[in-house]
Amino acid sequence: MDRELREERLAGERGRQLVAAGGDVPAGFIRLTWPTSGVHGTLAPDEVHLWAWALEPAAVDLPAHIEILDQQERERMQRFHFAPDRARYAVAHANLRRILGAYLRQPAAGLRFHTNGFGKPELDHGDSSSSFHFSLSHSRSIALLAVANGGPVGVDVEEVRPIEPEVADSHFSASERLQLNQLQGNAWLLGFYRCWTRKEAILKAEGVGLSRALDSFDVSLLPDERAKLLGTRQPFSYPWTLHDLSPSEGTIGAIAATHSNARLACFSFVNEAFS
């Protein structure tokens, strides 16, 4: 699993969202588990809103998405060698702009971003107060966005598929590897992804990117334990609170928030302007 390559995958779709809420799922559709919605209302300081959408690059109308990206985003999109990856990037950032613009009551194309010293994207203060935060993650089939108004937030989502044990040996702490080795078969695989997504969510919330090693702190991963930061050998900015997420079948996600009693609201994003 390549942490750097995973940072650039996302998409959506101009017409009707390619999701199914229940029953049989047609070929090419992703079954999202959260209710569909457009962006309405505001965010309270103790709320975190989570938005998921399926990635279907073959179905997108790219010009409708590319036209709201800024020049830097368009240049970054063009660096991808494969067309599906360019489509995922374009729609990911277009949907990000649409959702944030709806909260801020500003045109999506007019939002301005900058990156911190570690490359984490943030809104320019001219577009929002410093208390408005977001975090974006994606696998090959699904995108996940967390939005908070009151403190940093981090989110990660992964598709559950076979993974080499060497990845855990290379990235997890000694105590995490000890816990993981108590599990076998599919239980081991699910434990791996619980650990991975919880750790990635924390690092994204911290905004430190690849500068901090995954094995420098410990999280829970056993199936009968709640999601929790257990300890760290380097100080964090906050005593992060973790929650597990399940935005679609076959995926595992996690969110790290500053508020110990954060109220989570989860939605499957529908672009109402084109539905």
User: Domains in the chain and their CATH numbers?
Assistant: 3-269 (3.90.470.20)
Give the H or E element holding residue 169.
helix 165-171
Distance from C-alpha of 159 to C-alpha of 193, rounded to nearest angstrom: 9
Give the per-residue pLDDT at 60: 61
Give the per-residue pLDDT at 241: 97
Give the per-residue pLDDT at 211: 85
Distance from C-alpha of 154 to C-alpha of 85, rounded to nearest angstrom: 23
pLDDT band for position 17 (cuts 50, 70, 90): very low
Q: Which among 168, 165, 155 has a CA at the least distance from the CA of 215? A: 168
Does position 271 have pLDDT exceeding 50, yes or no? yes
SS3 205: helix
What pLDDT, in 10s, does the model give residues 215-265? Answer: 999 999 999 999 999 999 999 999 999 999 999 999 999 999 998 899 999
Q: What's the whole-number mean pLDDT along residues 125-132?
A: 63
Helical residues (DSSP H) of 24-143, grouped into ranges: 62-66, 71-78, 83-104
CA distances from 239 to 173, 201, 208 (A): 19, 13, 15
Average pLDDT, the chain: 85
